[in-house]
A = this chain, B = another copy of it.
């Protein structure tokens, strides 16, 4: 079993420089060639390390690829979270998440992989596992909004979190579902309606 084993409960050690060197090289290769066309020998060459070391830290190529995307997602999530804490309302927070979520998906490794291997990206986006980490960021924001009286205390935090995640994922994935929601202003007005008032 590899050292940097990662599962849903035990996340990777991003403080280990070796792990980061491997992931840096792997991300660079995936970014340039796509997943299918990156050989671990190439990753080793780019990272100036041995292929044996890669296998010491990751079970196999699939685990390495997953590690690359998890770290990248973690980075985006932390960046977004840092912006969220400065925003006053839950609606502002979800709006920001949607706008920056779209930006993140249109950049870097996600965007380049969407060009070379769109089916792979599509499969990732349809795995609910992909959103697990994001889900865990919302409950504190929901509770703050409840304490501030923005949303009702009667609503279960898990229900509110699920609802917010569904809205955010849907709006990032589909800019248009009948309505075209492209501008920050339009997204904010829409979210204000459906989150704070619903349709009732």
Contacts and interface: CB of A to CB of B under 8 A. Distances in A.
A158 interface: yes
Contacts of A195: 198-200
A178 to B, nearest CB: 4
A53 interface: no
Interface string A49-62: 00000000000000
A8 to B, nearest CB: 13
Contacts of A181: 162
Given A155-B199, A190-B159, A198-B194, A119 B123 contact: yes
Contacts of A163: 190, 193-194, 199
Interface stretch (A12-20, A28-36, A73-81, A167-175): A167-175
Interface in A149-191: 150-152, 155, 158-163, 165-167, 169-171, 173-179, 181, 190
Interface stretch (A39-47, A63-71, A125-133): A125-133
Contact of A166 (B119, B158, B174): B174
